[in-house]
Amino acid sequence: MSNLKKFVIALLLLVVLIPAGAFGYIYFKLNSMYDSSSDIKTLNKTDYKAEKGVTNILLVGTDGRTLEETSRSDSMMILTIDAKHKSIKLTSLARDTYVDIHGHGEQKLTHAYAYGGINLLVETIESNFKLDIQNYAIVNFFSFMDIIDTLGGVVVDVQPGEINELNKYIPECYNLDKNSNKGEMKLIDHSGKQKLDGYQALSYGRIRKNDDALERDKRQRALMESMFDGVKNLPVSKYPELVDTILPYIKTNMKPTTILSLGSSVLSMGSLDIKTLEFPMEEYSNGGIYGNAGWVWRYDEDKCLPILHDFIFNDVMYQKTN
């Protein structure tokens, strides 16, 4: 399963969104996902754009079967907790974005993690997109099915043209699902809004052939938004089970106190509506085969970076021109 999806990176945000009543239970458990091996001084050594009250967290979903396995970063997003404007933002970074990777030349963004782990990936994002990234979380795709099942499923709007591709992946995902209560395998037989189990949702997120990468991003964000709704509506009695399900699949350089502080900041905002942006912007980018790099997105830096910075730091929503 090399083409894993961006929705797995929602796991860190799920931790942040767990209401304050559960923090006493998870405080010491949070140490289990703390990664002290990264060079924090290296991550913090940057002159790129940063603003007080705006916290950027790089969320990385890997295509390895474990957190320790060397792999490419299949999914990358920047989670922005903006206390200044009281908003939460997610910026999707296309894995095929054409960037300069230090020591390796110009290649796809997804290759940076395989070449040099989280440090090189952070350095690549900072140097190409002119952003200061001080925090990260890495998640493993196996967690996704477990989370969905703990939440009781997710509701998505399946389009008629997606059914065949969705069902193509269901047998494999069903066999990977370790949930003892998953029941018999069920294929999707109709379009429209419906609740998907963990293995069905993973299959939905893996759809690739019907459209382009930007459409796949939209499906993955729809899954995440449904997951967030599930967390907000989860009974308090289910918090410990959710925490125990999430934590083994996450590695982060954020200490428990940092996560608790961010969680408090998010809860103080009241609304948990999430604003989203896709990078690069399709109208200022060219997608296609380029040299030996394969299929990549080449973007206009002078157009795309100001839009990215305005979204993250000034809370300005991008409006595509006609």
CB 74, CB 4: distance < 8 Å: yes
Which strand (E) or helix (H) includes residue 307?
A: helix 301-314
Strand partners, 154: 196
Residue 70: pLDDT over 60: no
Consecutive H or E run containing 295: strand 295-299
pTM: 0.76
- Mean per-residue pLDDT for 172-185? 87
57 pLDDT band, cuts 50/70/90, is very high
Query: SS3 of 108, please?
Result: strand
In sequence order, the 6+-apart residues with CB closer than 8 A to the CB of 266 are 16, 17, 81, 88, 272
Preceding peptide of 280 cis, ω within 30°: yes
């997710």: which residue's tokens?
154
Q: How many CA atoms lie within 13 A of 9 on its CB side?
A: 27
Reported as a pLDDT band with limits 50, 70 and 90, residue 1 is very low
pLDDT: which is higher, 79 or 139: 79
Say if CB 16 and CB 256 are below 8 A apart. no
Identity of the amino acid at 51: E
Helix (H, G, I), strand (E, B) or coil at 253: coil
* Residue 8 predicted with pLDDT over 50: no
